[in-house]
Structure 1
């Protein structure tokens, strides 16, 4: 792993809920995913940051969920899709391993955003390392929040419901995709995988091309 990136992650990615990455999982993905992502797991694990707004995650836990959400979207079926991070409200950051492209799935809002011009490319190892480097450096807290009246609702959700565990989300009940009515009172702490799978049943996700 690049020394400067290792120092950056150690200084900037301070877990507020620490979960170590199992050695067997690291070994499973060591020659599959970019080495600087694996290095980050070795430093901070699959931990939560900023009071649980953003988490690095174990890709194998989300294999079924992302397969369900990408099914029928028209994305290349021969792609290699790995969930590398999630937000408190269920947003999923997906790495397509061949191209290095990052896909964002927003289950709560029912859309998928990506750069369609990038997803069909095949990048070399150096390019993928650069993509992950940029991804770590350019993380924005607001990307994982949900806005209400121009203000993110995460802090209100955190103050009302407390700190999430590694397998939990703040979920709207009923789902936002049914009526779009964002109210803090409708949030609950829910089991993440089960909730994301349930949301897929209520959603026909819209694919948004961010490079237009």
Structure 2
């Protein structure tokens, strides 16, 4: 059974690795993501290579093997189901459940996880809109576009919040920027590097582009988003 450290590496590689299967995730990026030195990350990846969990190429990077990807999806499923359980059943705020799930994902049994899944009605997304892998390892992700790329004056719906930072999640919640919320882009200011949006009937909100990029949206009318 993989250790919690190995599971953390597998999950992080899955989340951050390029979608192109032939492209490796740089070791420096992985080390930064898991909060260790490049040397420590490289030593761990070499150990995981011996277990056929990853494919590692020195001076190039790392990617998951089929076995490693399967295990990563199991960890991700536990993490996201636990997050939703903490919010929906225990009443924790969505800004604080990520760190709690980081601990619980390694301790929860398959039996308890199955019960949580059933209790929650077999959900497909976590509180932040991230897709929950199925027990068979399938991931059904909805098509989305980052907010700054959408044209103005078109109805949009938030699908996913691509950030686990507690401060950003608190800000998003206070301003109604949650999955399912409807909004429009009123103006994009490329010089100021900002986007002005209106959520429902509330006053306009101006976000820096870097913050707006964390909001992933789809057309509220069900049509394909039209990036500009």
TM-score normalised over the length of structure 2: 0.27
User: Which TM-score applies when normalising by structure 1?
Assistant: 0.28
Query: Is the strand fraction higher in 1 or 2?
Result: 1
